[in-house]
Amino acid sequence: MKRKPLMIHWLYAIILVLTLVVALTGLYSTNAGFPYDYVNQYGTTVRIYGDGLYANDSFFKAPIFRASDATMLFLVVPLFLLFLIRNIAKQDKLSRSLLLGSVSMVLYYSSSLAFGAIYNDLHLAYIALFALSLFTTIVLLSQENHDYSGITLPYKAIYAFLTISGIALIVAWLPDILSAMLKRTSLAHIENYTTEITYVLDMGIIAPACFITMRLLQKRESLGYELLTMILFVCSAMGIMVCVQTIFQTAAGIVLPIEAIITKMAIFVALAAFSITLLGILLRRTPKRSDRT
């Protein structure tokens, strides 16, 4: 029997279209501008990108934003569309979980732009995308009543992954902040920004979520499995995205130490591979019963 689209499918569709517009514009917009120098509030000379949607962002950050756009456009958006088509047709648990993961990645992406990018013509689109993905995630989690009892997973590997990820996200960024505090200076790459949104998202949200998820899984609560799906999907996509960001920065002429490039890409490739493996196991072993969303 052919299933009719539900109200939440329209929310998915709006999020998908907005993500497509934001990513496409950010990646391909240009006004033939050139980089220029600017002295920030700390008296440091900052190189400004000068071209396209991210013309007012720093020369260091703009390629990162464009790489994020590329990853969303060529990886997340196509997957999101496939998952949405499947969910409309089957409305099963598997496609619902995949959509939850997709929306979670859009939430991370849109929050990075809404709070991290210098104001530009897509600011309202960033706000709309952030709000839609945030409240859709809340709705999906609030409606979750799936029975995960009896599901067999490699819990030791999952706990190890969550523990290492949670600690690594804190260890990776905390020294930058502590160093700036002790020296009473600005962050090393604050440039023309007021704060570093990545620190907030990674240390303030994702790292604690890793430990909370582990505790919920130990108690075999359904919310733990949903949060695990979100974390694994975001880590899988982010592992790929960071590699793309490194490529875009190198192509833009930003000089990065070769050892840092190799180490960074190796770590995130390993992270993505581990996340994808665990996500695949989780999804394969989740009962595929019909689901109302």
DSSP 117-157: SPP-TTHHHHHHHHHHHHHHHHHHHHT-----TT----HHH
Count of residues for the chain? 293
Per-residue pLDDT tens over the stretch 19-75 = 999 999 999 999 989 999 999 988 899 999 999 999 999 999 999 999 999 999 999
What CA–CA distance (Å, rounded) separates 72 from 75? 5
Q: Torsions phi, psi of 232, nearest 5?
A: -65, -40
pLDDT in the model for residue 133: 98
pLDDT digit string, tens, across residues 221-256: 989 999 999 999 999 999 999 989 999 999 999 987
Rounded Cα gap, residues 293 and 18, in angstroms: 21
| Residue-level pLDDT at 3 | 61
Q: Beta-strand (E) ranges in the chain?
A: 36-39, 45-48
CB proximity list for 194: less than 8 A, separation 6 or greater: none
As given in the structure block, the two tokens for residue 287 are: 């009962």
Domain edges within the chain? 7-285
Instruction: Please state, as a whole number, how many other Cβ atoms lie within 10 Å of the Cβ of residue 32.
Output: 7
Q: What is the pLDDT of residues 86-126, one digit of tens each?
A: 999 988 888 999 999 999 999 999 999 999 999 999 999 99
CA distances from 8 to 18, 140, 288 (A): 15, 9, 19
**CA 262 to CA 270: how far, in whole Å?**
12
Q: What pTM was estimated for this model as a whole?
A: 0.92
pLDDT higher than threshold 90 for residue 292: no
Q: What is the mean pLDDT of the chain?
A: 91
- 170-188 confidence digits (pLDDT tens): 988 899 899 999 998 888 8
